[in-house]
A and B are shown apart, each in its own frame.
Chain A
Amino acid sequence: MRRLLALLALAAGPVLVLGVLFVLPVTGMVSEGFFVDGSFAPGAVLEVLARPRVHRVAWFTVWSSGAATLLAVVLGLPAAYVLHRLALPGRAAVRAALLVPFVLPTVVVGVAFRQLLGEGGPLGFLDLDGTPVAIICGLVFFNLAVVIRTVGVAWESLDPRPGQAAAALGASPSQVLRTVTLPALRPAIVGAATIVFLFCATAFGIVLTLGGVRYSTVETEIYLLTTTVFDLQAAAALSVLQIVVVVALLALAARLRATPDPTAHRTVTPVRAVRRGDAPAVVATLVVLVAMLLPILTLVLGSLTVGDGWGLANYRALTTTGDNQALLVPVTAALVTSLRTAVDATWMALLVGVSVALIVTRRSHSVAERRVRSTLDGFFMLPLGVSAVTLGFGFLITLDQPPLDLRDSPLLVPMAQALVALPLVVRTLAPVLGGIDDRQRQAAASLGASPLRTLVTVDLPVVWKPMLAASGFAFAASLGEFGATSFLARDDSPTLPVVIFRLIGHPGEMNYGMALAASVVLAAATTLVMLAVERLRVPGVGALA
């Protein structure tokens, strides 16, 4: 009982943060739909759920996100192995570059995809423009990095000895993979798949751009109902549906994630040389990389196109405010704002994320305790699965009175971004922390180490690298965040994605080229930050095990 109370006390901080920044706004917005003229009228909301259109929209969301998730996992696993376990030249750069799609604004990627797939594009013969296949490709493009990074980090810290033992006992490589490696990676794979699914199910811009408005998902429908039609009952119905489905999914994921062998050793294994047997994985990775590169290449080429020739004029223009004063601040100033905001969002996400990861992975001593931990775990994933539209409007109507008068606060943007980055941090750290043998901590404690010292000597050495990976991840997510940011950002201090969106929406000869150039700069900045983060890795950290 005392353990349970201590656990709840520890969790109080993060829960309060999420309560104010997430539960309160979403509840506020949803209840707008449930209350008609001040009286509670759930009937209208429930009626909406019976509409055939709602069923169509919900079904499309589930199957397109499911297909995209499956594809991302299948394509991401070999790449995670190759990029995190094999000594390939340049893998640090490739790993950093792989996060680029994650930060690119959807509007720019949408245009790049359409230039490839459109009627006049090089892949136009495939006739994919405006089809669900194009939507799924776009979703995979954005989310592959999640699988590669989350699973790769877990793979890096996986003890190779059980696999080696199995091989020594005569298991074929595929048997080792099936019976030893994949089961040990299951928490990471399920965690990554959950995040990808939630990202896909709440994707917005990419569905509209690549689907040609023919396909609606729950998210696009909520946007349409809230802003264009102003049917708050219907929007509330869909939000509730979304939350119910997401909670069910998280419960399922928590079951699937349960580690089969909680005492699996976590360590940091050195990368090894490429062998002949790695050929299929390496080839698969190369194919994936080339496919990922195509849209980015289209962007880079577009940014270098000036009139009928080539040049750097679009890049030089980044210090200006664009043709016809499309912008209030030059792109370079927006980049600085973006980096600053991302730093704030990253430490916020890390602060909360690390405590959440520690809370949810500690060994439970009772059923009640385990339930509390797994409920908390799911709770902190929720923000990814709930409509940004509902959350954004909810901010406006619930955080408008002292002491919570946050709607004009400049900290609202990094807070919203941290909310998006938080699940990424938790899901990167939790599999690693969960894999630490609790007996190590017990041993340390019985030798007289204080809880803090145990944390520093047992947990930190193993979790140090994943923590860097997580912070890089959070930083990238924050740099690229558009949905919540565009809703909350102040006009005088926009972030880079907001500026890019603005440029592309304003006619003017240079503005389109500038938008592409700014996207390339955003991509390059992300890559550099990721490379710097990888540089921070200290050799010999995991020598403990």
Chain B
Amino acid sequence: MHRPSVRAALTTVLATVALAGCSLAGTGDEAQDPATSSSDGAAAEAGGPVVLATHESFTLPKKLVRQFEAETGYELEVRAAGDAGTLATKLSLTADNPIADAAFGIDNTFASRPLDEGAFAEVTPTLTPPAEYALAEGGDRLVPIDSASVCVNVDTAWFDAEGIEAPRTLADLTDPAYADLLVTPGASTSSPGMAFFLATVAEYGDDWPAYWTDLLANGAKVVDGWEDAYYGDFTAGSETGTRPIVVSYDSSPAFTVTDGATTTAALLDTCFRQVEYAGVLAGADNPDGAEALIDFLLGDAVQSALPESMYVFPVMPDATVPADWAEFAPQPTDPYEVTPEEISANREQWLTEWTDVISR
């Protein structure tokens, strides 16, 4: 009576083992690839793997990766996981035994932490990015690669349809005419949310809690992440959205183009500029490869590909920007600024106070 069941059990167990075997073998092969080729590479004069640690928003078209490998003889291995804060923490915690050779994606809001922990080595790239992006402290270790400004965006189509004039400044957002129209990602949970918060700190100084109190009294909605704000609440991003003012990027209007015109606009007087940096990790296995990678990131091929693959502006002035971007996504000329040192010194206190203000 039990025989069929036992046989069935055995069959299933065997099938599972077989499947697992395939699967393990599959993963194993992939894992071995870099290792095998690394020993091959070591036999050649320059080469071997270069490991890049970065955040989850990083993408480089496959074509460019192949170009890098062909030009330099190194093999690029990208490890992208977590957000910018997670990356900064990872690099800081592993400063004495780095997880990679190079890192990309540390921005000006997180730069001081890994620098203080000694995660980065000095680097002199062949190409020099414009001085306006350089860090005052740590500029010898972190090289600017791209920039993106976080600005308040408005659904111009909505404002036209309602016959209301769209806001222009941070102060306008507390005007009762714009009551219940703004949605922003939170400063504690989102990198653009933090950037918007820093813009308000730069504008209002120590009085920012009063501004935020007014903002919330005027019906501002705070959500978790950029996705929630843009796709959940913004009228131009979601069918069920009810709010025509959202905290997003200066490049966002280039993504709402229909019939040769954009239906949204970034308010260029409300922007905080995020600059993303790359660097060679201290104690890296392959510092030469890491330096070659940074040169490549500053090269025209990658710089011109940045807008399409990562929605950011290149730092090198001669890089090409897509037509839609040039036409519909002007960059702010005079964004708000808060230094990395000031951010690092105050972040905890600011966030605690901010959370208290929005929890009231």
Complex contact B240–A487 (CB within 8 A)? no
Q: Is the CB of B92 within 8 A of A230?
A: yes
Query: Per a CB cutoff under 8 Å, which of B2, B79, B359 touches A457?
Result: B2
Q: Is B286 an interface residue (CB 8 A)?
A: no
Report chain A residues within 8 Å CB of B83. 227
Which A residues from 88 to 134 make CB contacts under 8 A with B? Answer: 107, 110-111, 114-115, 118-121, 130
Task: Given the known inter-chain contacts A216-B355, A328-B59, please indicate yes or no for A487 contacting B30, CB distance below 8 A.
Answer: no
Residue of B nearest to A336 (CB): B26
Contact between chains at A120 and B4 (CB < 8 Å): no
Q: Are A507 and B20 neighbours in the complex by a CB distance under 8 Å?
A: no
> Once the chains bind, are B240 and A121 in contact (CB under 8 Å)?
yes
Docked-complex contact A118 and B233, CB < 8 angstroms: yes
CA distance A347 to B9 in the complex (A): 14
B189/A486 in contact, CB under 8 A: no
Q: Quick one: given A111-B227, A209-B228, A505-B56, are A340 and B26 in contact (CB under 8 Å)?
A: yes
Residues in A neighbouring B189, C-beta threshold 8 A: 208, 213, 220, 224
Contact mask for chain B residues 73-105; partner A; CB cutoff 8 A; 1 contact, 0 none: 000001111110110111011100101000000
A440 CB to closest chain B CB, in angstroms? 13
Asked whether any CB of chain B lies closer than 8 Å to the CB of A344, the reply is yes
A410 lies within 8 A of B358 (CB): no
| B9 shortest CB reach to chain A, Å | 6
Alpha-carbon separation in the docked complex, A324 to B255 (Å): 10
Given contacts A326-B59, A410-B27, A538-B4, contact A213 B81 (CB under 8 A): no
Contact B225 A228 (CB under 8 A): no
B241 within 8 A of A: yes
The residue that B97 contacts in the complex, of A400, A461, A501, A505, with Cβ under 8 A, is A400
The residues of B that contact A488 with a CB separation of less than 8 Å are 81
Alpha-carbon distance A536/B13, docked complex (angstroms): 12
Cα distance, A468 to B28, chains bound together (Å): 27
Q: Which residues of A contact B19 (CB under 8 A)?
A: 343
Q: Is B43 an interface residue (CB 8 A)?
A: no
Across-interface contacts of B4 in A (CB, < 8 A): 538, 540
Given contacts A120-B241, A208-B224, contact A213 B358 (CB under 8 A): yes
Interface residues on B, range: 35 or more
- Given the complex, which residues of B lie within 8 Å of A456, measured CB to CB? 6
Nearest residue in B to A208 (C-beta to C-beta)? B224
Interchain CB contact under 8 A, A107 and B227: yes
**Is A53 in contact with B352, judged by CB distance below 8 angstroms?**
yes
| Residue numbers in A under 8 Å from B57 (CB-CB) | 505-506
Q: What's the Cα separation between A542 and B139 when bound, in Å? A: 71
Q: A379 on the interface (CB 8 Å rule)?
A: no
Contact A461 B2 (CB under 8 A): yes
Chain A residues with CB under 8 Å of B81's CB are 486-489, 491
Q: Given the complex of chains A and B, what is the CA–CA distance between A457 and B62 in angstroms?
A: 56
Grouping DSSP codes into helix (H, G, I), strand (E, B) and loop, the B interface class, with mixed when no group exceeds half, is helix
Q: Assuming the A-B contacts A121-B240, A324-B308, A409-B31, are A507 and B188 also in contact, with contact meaning beta carbons closer than 8 angstroms in the complex? A: no
CB distance from A46 to the nearest CB of B (A): 18
B151 within 8 A of A: no
Per-residue 0/1 for B279-321: is the Cβ within 8 Å of any A Cβ (1 yes, 0 no)? Answer: 0000000000000000000000000000011010000000000
Q: Considering the chains assembled together, what is the distance between the CA atoms of A543 and B20 in angstroms? A: 31
Which of A110, A208, A214, A344 contacts B20, CB < 8 Å? Answer: A344
Chain A residues closer than 8 Å to B255, beta-carbon distance: 507-509
Q: Is B351 an interface residue when CB atoms closer than 8 A count as contact? A: yes
In the complex, A493 has a CB within 8 A of chain B: yes
Chain B residues with Cβ below 8 Å from A468 are 12
- Residue A363, interface by CB 8 Å: no
Q: What's the minimum C-beta distance from A532 to chain B, rounded to whole angstroms?
A: 11
At the interface, yes or no: B333 with Cβ under 8 Å from chain A? Answer: no
- Also in contact, A410 and B99, with CB within 8 A (given A491-B80, A506-B311): no
Q: Are B93 and A119 in contact (CB under 8 A)?
A: no
Q: Count of chain A residues with Cβ under 8 Å from any Cβ of B?
A: 81
Q: Does B17 touch A at the CB level, under 8 Å? A: yes
A111 close to B232 (CB less than 8 A): yes
CB 8 Å contact bits of B1-45 with A (1 = contact, 0 = none): 110111011001000110110011011101100000000000000
With A118-B240, A460-B9 given, is the CB distance from A214 to B231 under 8 Å? no
Contact present for B2 and A119 (CB under 8 Å):
no
Interface residue A407 (Cβ < 8 Å from any Cβ of B): yes
CB within 8 A of A501: which of B56, B239, B351? B56
Chain A 520-545 interface 0/1 with B at a Cβ cutoff of 8 Å (1 = within):
00000000000000001010110110
A504 within 8 A of B: yes
Q: Is B252 an interface residue (CB 8 A)?
A: yes
Nearest neighbor of A465 in chain B, beta-carbon distance: B5
B107 to chain A, nearest CB (A): 13
A154-B99 Cα distance, complex, nearest whole Å: 46
Q: In the bound complex, do residue A328 and residue B82 qualify as a contact, i.e. CB atoms below 8 Å apart?
A: no
Q: Is A118 within 8 A of B232, CB to CB?
A: yes
Answer yes or no: A47 CB below 8 A from chain B CBs. no
Chain B 325-360 against A: per-residue CB contact (8 Å), 1 yes, 0 no? 000000000000000000000011001100100110
Q: Please tell me which one of the listed residues B5, B27, B232 contacts residue A340 in the complex, with CB atoms under 8 A apart.
A: B27
Q: Mark A227-244, 1 if CB is under 8 A from B, else 0.
A: 111110000000000000
Min CB gap A350→B, angstroms = 8
22 contacts between A and B (CB under 8 A): A205-B224, A212-B223, A214-B222, A227-B82, A227-B85, A227-B86, A227-B89, A230-B89, A230-B113, A324-B308, A341-B23, A343-B23, A346-B16, A400-B99, A414-B27, A460-B6, A486-B82, A491-B58, A504-B227, A540-B5, A541-B5, A543-B2
Across the A-B interface, give the 9 residue pairs with the lowest CB-CB distance, nearest first: A213-B186, A227-B85, A120-B240, A208-B224, A340-B23, A410-B31, A119-B242, A120-B242, A541-B5
Question: Given known contacts A213-B358, A505-B56, A538-B5, what 6 new A-B pairs fall within 8 Å (CB)?
Answer: A110-B228, A120-B241, A460-B6, A505-B226, A505-B227, A543-B1
Q: Which residues of B contact A (CB under 8 A)?
A: 1-2, 4-6, 8-9, 12, 16-17, 19-20, 23-24, 26-28, 30-31, 56-59, 61-62, 78-83, 85-86, 88-90, 92-94, 97, 99, 113, 186, 188-189, 194, 221-228, 230-233, 238-243, 252, 255, 308-309, 311, 347-348, 351-352, 355, 358-359
